[in-house]
Structure 1
Amino acid sequence: MAKSSNQKLKILYLMKIFLEATDEDNTITLNEMITELERYGITAERKSIYDDIEALHQYGIDIATRKTKTTDYFVANRLFELPELKLLVDIVQSSKFITHKKSNELIKKIESLTSVHQARKLQRQVYVANRVKTMNELIYCNVDTLHIAISENRQISFKYFEYNLDKKKQFRNSGQAYVVSPYALSWVDENYYLISHYPKNSDLTHFRVDRMGEIKLLEEPRRTLAEIIGEKSLDIAEYSKKVFNMFGGEEVAVKLQFDNSLVNVVIDRFGKDVSIEKVDENSFAVRTHVAVSSTFLAWVFQFGNKVKILSPESVVKRYKENLQEIMNSY
């Protein structure tokens, strides 16, 4: 049988056919492989396909067989199992951080990791209440640039915006660029935040990545964490427990009393290592360090009389004043 001009591509197209068209529920026979290869302008003999299948198997493609009236071939195992791909699709679709356009692009790429048959099962709809997708398409480039700055210990400059009542972008700092030392990226409550040091502030500062624009890498080295917080590294998980929704504040050791029904809320917020002490049959107390901010007080307020700030007195006083201000507005 005469060989076609692109015969050298035969094994590559055969791998493509296996990966795209087969799985445990969808198999292919030797004759069907020959027919599929002809669609790519490639002629093949049965013996050469046997050799190619063996080569693909040695390469690492898990090609299995099943005996029926014929011998059926299929890819048995892949890098990602279908439930794992479904999980990835759900995360992408429901994430506020990822734009609609990028969500569709990423899901298409995830679908390519399985057969076309199983890919149909990934075309799911995940609905999340009050979910608003970000509108900043540059955020992916921003994240990449920030990672480079962090790994290379360099400062960055950027412009930071928010929306006004006309829903127009309005730059902070009179439109002037911020120059900061970046240390880490944290994904909190569906938003990416840059944890950095801005010279006008004594402590660490947080910026929403999707509100950053015109990010530039600078040659100047960033300030070390030891200069800012006296530590060589930053424990993001521990830091996130203390800082509520990335709103900073003075870090204080607080004692809180909770109704027993809120034990899962406490563990979700502060982690399983948080120290819990029984107060009575209906409540328990927790001692922890938090950055006391309006966001922290709002978090306490949402639980009504099921939470009580016990100490320090300065935080108790601030909470009472906050409650009184709310009452006075009505």
Structure 2
Amino acid sequence: MTDKKQNAKTAEKKNVGNDKLRLLAVLKIMQRTDEDHPLTKNQIMNKVVEQGIEVSNSKTIAADLATLKDAGYDIVTNYSGSFMTDGQIFQNYELKILADNIANARYLPLEESEFIIERLREMATESGDEMIAATTVMDPKMKSKDITMKYKLDTLFRCIQKKKKVKFRYKKPDGERAVPYEVSPYALSLYEEEYYLTAAFAAGKNYSNTPFSFKVSRMERVEETDEPARKIGEFDILSDGGGFADIQTYRRVMMNMWSGIQPREIMIRVEHVLADSKLVLSAERVKENGDGSLTVYIKSIVNTGLYQTLARYGDSVEILKPEEARKGYVEYLKRMLDVYEKEE
């Protein structure tokens, strides 16, 4: 091959590569436009050139815009002849909602939150980017210090999807020791700013007849195994006869009620001020009383987890039935009061 032909072939490859880079650059530039921030062909060309990509003239940009439009991108022209996109995957307000949730997610470390929010801003238009940057606030003191959280969540989600058992070390509340577990995972649920894993022990083990809830924040060394997970259908508690129709209902009721025994129907009087509380919204049934209060019926295990949940609502709740739960709650409250009376 002569030098002339070789140079021509090299130039052709360079042009093809430049065309691809330019088209991608134009696409990214257009994704930042909106009704308030349209761009002319010359403005688009200047932004492309600023990235070190060659552009012969504005006609080249016009051809790129036409190519993007043919490919299905919503490129529109306004009354003045400027161009903008009209088909964001997420609207700016939706990206702002996502950014706020990331900013307030205590389970995510500060650096990870900042990284995710930055990626959300890249999906916004120019005005959306400015809005998210100016109005999203994070309190570093409220963020997790666990830099392994994303890896733990990724492993758990993958095990649930593949129906594989997962093993991990679970820190006790005292934080001084961790116990090794191997369980069948079924669901990850976000409840009151904590991720919980719904999982079950191997058949034949202690407490193997019902799933348990594990705090992901207390897990260490989370690893996928090759062993298949137990089938959900093995558990009576997840069937109609056991009190729960499916795993979603089980997760909702059990998230703050420790496992181990069958759920009971709990009848609770609730002051109307709590009408929009999680307790009322998650109830099986709600009945309005003549005095303005509500009677709610929930499915729950009768134990300390239930009492801790109800104690948050102070004197705005009263257990009516069953008597076992009512007496147990009274004893729980007495034990709490004893702590302060001993100090006196």
TM-score by length of 2: 0.82
State how many pairs are aligned.
316
Correspondence 1:66-81 to 2 at 5 A:
66-68=78-80, 71-81=81-91
Contact 2:99 2:136 in 1 (8 A): no
Aligned-pair CA distance for 1:136: 1.6
Contact 2:37 2:126 in 1 (8 A): no
Q: Which amino acid aligns with 1:260?
A: H
Aligned-pair CA distance for 1:289: 1.3
- Separation in structure 1 between the aligned mates of residue 118 and residue 163 of structure 2, nearest angstrom: 35
Q: Which amino acid aligns with 1:280?
A: G
Considering fraction of residues, name the structure with more helix.
Answer: 2
Contact 2:74 2:85 in 1 (8 A): yes
- Separation in structure 1 between the aligned mates of residue 118 and residue 190 of structure 2, nearest angstrom: 24
Aligned-pair CA distance for 1:293: 2.6
Q: 1:271 aligns with which of 256, 276, 281?
A: 281
Q: 1:197 aligns with which of 197, 200, 212?
A: 200
> What 5-or-longer segments of structure 2 have no aligned partner?
1-10
CA distance 1:37–1:319, shift in 2 (3 Å): closer
- Separation in structure 1 between the aligned mates of residue 76 and residue 335 of structure 2, nearest angstrom: 70
Can you list the C-alpha shifts for 1:123-156, whole angstroms capped at 9, x where unaligned?
123468x972222222212122112222222212
Can you list the C-alpha shifts for 1:234-254, whole angstroms capped at 9, x where unaligned?
734422442252533542211
Considering fraction of residues, name the structure with more strand.
Answer: 1
Q: Please name the residue that 1:214 is paired with.
A: 221
Q: Match of 1:24, SS?
A: coil
Contact 1:275 1:287 in 2 (8 A): yes
Q: Which amino acid aligns with 2:45?
A: I
User: Relative to structure 2, which stretch is displaced further, 218-227 or 97-106?
Assistant: 218-227
Aligned-pair CA distance for 1:279: 4.0
Q: 1:171 aligns with which of 177, 184, 191?
A: 177
Can you list the C-alpha shifts for 1:188-230, whole angstroms capped at 9, x where unaligned?
1111111111333242212111221212222222222232335
Can you list the C-alpha shifts for 1:11-41, whole angstroms capped at 9, x where unaligned?
2222222224x22212222222333333323
Q: Match of 1:78, SS?
A: coil
- Separation in structure 1 between the aligned mates of residue 304 and residue 28 of structure 2, nearest angstrom: 56
Aligned-pair CA distance for 1:116: 3.8
- Separation in structure 2 between the aligned mates of residue 300 and residue 225 of structure 1, nearest angstrom: 29
What is the percentage of aligned positions where both structures have the same residue? 24
Q: Which amino acid aligns with 2:104?
A: S
Q: Please name the residue that 2:67 is paired with.
A: 55
CA RMSD of aligned residues (A): 2.7
Q: Which amino acid aligns with 1:282?
A: G
Q: Match of 1:57, SS?
A: helix
> What 5-or-longer segments of structure 1 have no aligned partner?
none
User: Relative to structure 2, which stretch is displaced further, 209-218 or 240-249?
Assistant: 240-249
Q: Please name the residue that 2:76 is paired with.
A: 64
User: Relative to structure 2, which stretch is displaced further, 226-235 or 101-110?
Assistant: 226-235
- Separation in structure 2 between the aligned mates of residue 80 and residue 290 of structure 1, nearest angstrom: 39
Q: Match of 2:235, SS?
A: helix
Q: Match of 2:259, SS?
A: coil
TM-score by length of 1: 0.85
Q: Please name the residue that 1:30 is paired with.
A: 41
- Separation in structure 1 between the aligned mates of residue 217 and residue 287 of structure 2, nearest angstrom: 40
Q: Which amino acid aligns with 1:112?
A: E
